[in-house]
Structure 1
Amino acid sequence: MPRAERERQMLDAAVRVFGKRGYRAASMDEIAELAGVSKPLVYLYLNSKEELFSACIRREAQALVAAIRAGVRTDVTADRQLWEGLTAFFAHTAERPDGWAVLHSQARSGGDPFVAEVVAMREEIVAFVTHLIAEAAREAHDNPELVEREVAGLAQALVGAAEALAGWANGDASVSAKEAATTMMNFAWSGLGNLMVGERWSDR
């Protein structure tokens, strides 16, 4: 079997085990058995448990970002792009629940080196959403009042809400990716729509 295919098998098995058990509780013996290889071969290919986990995080992060970007058309309005991005996000996390568990929960509990990998992925997604919100502001009026700091904060909040919602959607098989995306749009875009035209909430 070609090395790349064998490595893919190992990473597939590792994602399943890490996703269910976490980094510390995962066993290299179980990963090797699930991949159908010997434990020494896993170490030969991926050197250590830490490097194997890092490789899983990188692969799943790249796959998630690629799925979101592939799902968004650039020739549609900003709200449609956000809808398509959210739908792609929820579809991907539903199709790869162990991969999402590795990214969203297991990596964060594994320590600093793993957290840094996830932070890099999240920053890329936040930058993408920030661009969409800024584009929406430009579409709403020629001289948008939304300052850069406010746009960045809105993007952080939206991404955080989507991450939380993915856990809920993945725990209920009856919730489709489109339903989860619709929930997010109803929660976030309606409010953003008011903000774009200058209608801000006030505590007065």
Structure 2
Amino acid sequence: MGSAGAGKSRRMPREVRERQMMDAAVATFGQRGYRAASMDEIAELAGVSKPLVYLYLNSKEELFTACIRREADALLAAVRAGVVERGIAPDQQLWAGLTAFFAHTAEHPDAWSVLYRQARTHGERFADEVAGMREELVSFVTGLLREAARATPTSAEPADLGDRDVVGVAQALVGAAEALAGWANETPDVTAREAASTLMNFAWTGLGGLMDGERWSAGNSAVVRR
């Protein structure tokens, strides 16, 4: 009776077992890289047999794809959750989103390695998965910037901040955040707030000028007002 009870106690719901395997896979892929990681290592870290990993997730490629999707969804959810308070100043909304982004990537370095390094360098299928996440991030940031443009008071003529400007700035901001997260995760003692502050200091001042109608001109190497 004792052994039967022990057997029952070891049984886990499928979703719990899958989460264990996915956690182990993210850690292994993030630390070892996609090519070097083996299903044996992942199974051992998860505390299950290799056949069970294959039973749940079919192949190494499908397992890696599932890891990308899960971690991309988690990152997007963290950023969106960081900007929950409506009616606050546009810069505070962007600050909240950036802080949430850097906090999540710092707290989940293996997941960030999977998304930022591994997925982008091991085949078009994986790169496409990450590209989808990036498009959603850019879309979210674009929405924040549009709100900021509408809310920013200016004593000058209304800024001609067209759709291409907004999307271009959002692309640049997301790209800068990705690069900064990679640096922050490899540099000791860089906090999420410090990383977010660095990017705000770099981006928001220039963005404020753009919203105020200022443009840099290559013709005279100066900022001109349109």
**TM-score, length-scaled by structure 1:** 0.97
The equivalent residue for 1:202 is: 217
- After TM superposition, the runs of 4+ consecutive aligned structure 1 residues lying more than 3 A away are 141-144
The equivalent residue for 1:2 is: 13
The equivalent residue for 2:50 is: 39
The equivalent residue for 1:187 is: 202
The equivalent residue for 2:33 is: 22
- In 2, the alpha carbon distance for the partners of 1:124 and 1:104 equals 15
Report the 3-state secondary structure (helix = DSSP H, G, I; strand = E; otherwise coil) of the residue aligned with 1:86. helix
1:162 partner letter: A
Structure 1 gaps of 5+ residues are none
1:78 partner letter: P
Percent identical residues: 70
* Cα contact 2:30–2:113 (8 A) shared by 1: yes
Report the 3-state secondary structure (helix = DSSP H, G, I; strand = E; otherwise coil) of the residue aligned with 1:107. helix
Number of aligned residues: 204
The equivalent residue for 1:92 is: 104
1:51 partner letter: E
The equivalent residue for 1:122 is: 134
Q: CA deviation at 1:139?
A: 1.2
**TM-score, length-scaled by structure 2:** 0.88
1:148 matches 2:196: no
* Cα contact 1:14–1:56 (8 A) shared by 2: yes
The equivalent residue for 2:172 is: 157
- In 2, the alpha carbon distance for the partners of 1:91 and 1:14 equals 22
> Equivalent of 2:183, from 140, 164, 168?
168
> C-alpha root-mean-square deviation of aligned residues, in Å?
1.1
Q: Identify, as 1 or 2, the structure richer in helix.
A: 1
> Equivalent of 1:103, from 88, 111, 115?
115
- In 2, the alpha carbon distance for the partners of 1:140 and 1:69 equals 22
- In 1, the alpha carbon distance for the partners of 2:198 and 2:25 equals 32
2:112 partner letter: W
1:137 partner letter: A
Q: CA deviation at 1:109?
A: 1.1
Between structure 1 and structure 2, the one with the greater Rg is 2
* Cα contact 2:184–2:190 (8 A) shared by 1: yes
With a CA cutoff of 8 Å and minimum separation of 6, indicate the structure with the bigger relative contact order: 1
Moved more, 166-175 or 103-112: 166-175
Q: CA deviation at 1:132?
A: 1.1
- Deviation by residue 1:120-169 (Cα, 9 ceiling, x = unmatched): 10000000111111111111259541110111111000000000000111
The equivalent residue for 2:9 is: none
- Deviation by residue 1:74-111 (Cα, 9 ceiling, x = unmatched): 22122111100000000000000000000001001110
Report the 3-state secondary structure (helix = DSSP H, G, I; strand = E; otherwise coil) of the residue aligned with 1:201. strand
The equivalent residue for 2:4 is: none
Structure 2 gaps of 5+ residues are 1-11, 221-226
